[in-house]
Amino acid sequence: MLTAYSRHLEETNSLLGINAQTTKILIEQLREGLGADAFNKLKDELGISAERLAKILNIPSRTLTRRLKEGRFSTTESERILRVANISSKAKELFEGEDYYKDWLSSSAIALGGSAPLDYLDTELGAEEVENLIGRLEHGVFS
């Protein structure tokens, strides 16, 4: 039986196209820098453009071009990619795996002042706010 954390780690692995069986392995992968494949997989999974994901990740377009060519992101950039994948995974769990979570992440939310959850993921504080919103929705609190 998978624990909630194991399911979350498994879903995050799926969203990024990686295979980190433990947090320790994931940390090692972050330190090495996630590959360009993780960025592309997340972009494709969310159904957004590379430019939009780069904006969410605070990666300038020239840097993105260089990272995709080199095939690896920095540790800090990798952590931001993981942040988006983690929130996406939680949203996917909220909507029980239905693709509706993608629309929800891209749609304006009253609880976020009319901003889309994805647009809040460019900062750690914003990501925490989206995570809190997901928690409230899981418990039936809609405001």
Which is higher by pLDDT, 143 or 142? 142
Return d(Cα 49, Cα 129) in angstroms, integer.
Answer: 24
- The answer to the question of residue 38 being in a domain is yes
pLDDT digits (tens, 9 = 90+) for 15-56: 899 998 888 999 999 999 999 999 999 999 999 999 999 999
pLDDT digits (tens, 9 = 90+) for 57-110: 999 999 999 999 999 999 999 999 999 999 999 999 998 877 899 999 999 999
Return d(Cα 77, Cα 54) in angstroms, integer.
Answer: 10
Torsion of CA 82, 87, 93, 94, to 10 degrees: 180
| pLDDT at 141 (0 to 100) | 73
> For residue 126, what are the contacts with CB-CB under 8 A and spacing of at least 6?
119, 120
Question: How many helices (H) does the chain have, and how many strands (E)?
Answer: 9, 0
Q: What's the whole-model pTM score? A: 0.91
pLDDT digits (tens, 9 = 90+) for 106-140: 999 999 999 999 999 999 999 999 999 999 998 88
| pLDDT at 143 (0 to 100) | 56
Residue 95, domain extent:
4-138
- The answer to the question of residue 143 being in a domain is no
Tokens 């460019």 identify what position?
122
| Pair of tokens at residue 90 | 């939680």
- The answer to the question of residue 60 being in a domain is yes
Domain count, the chain: 1
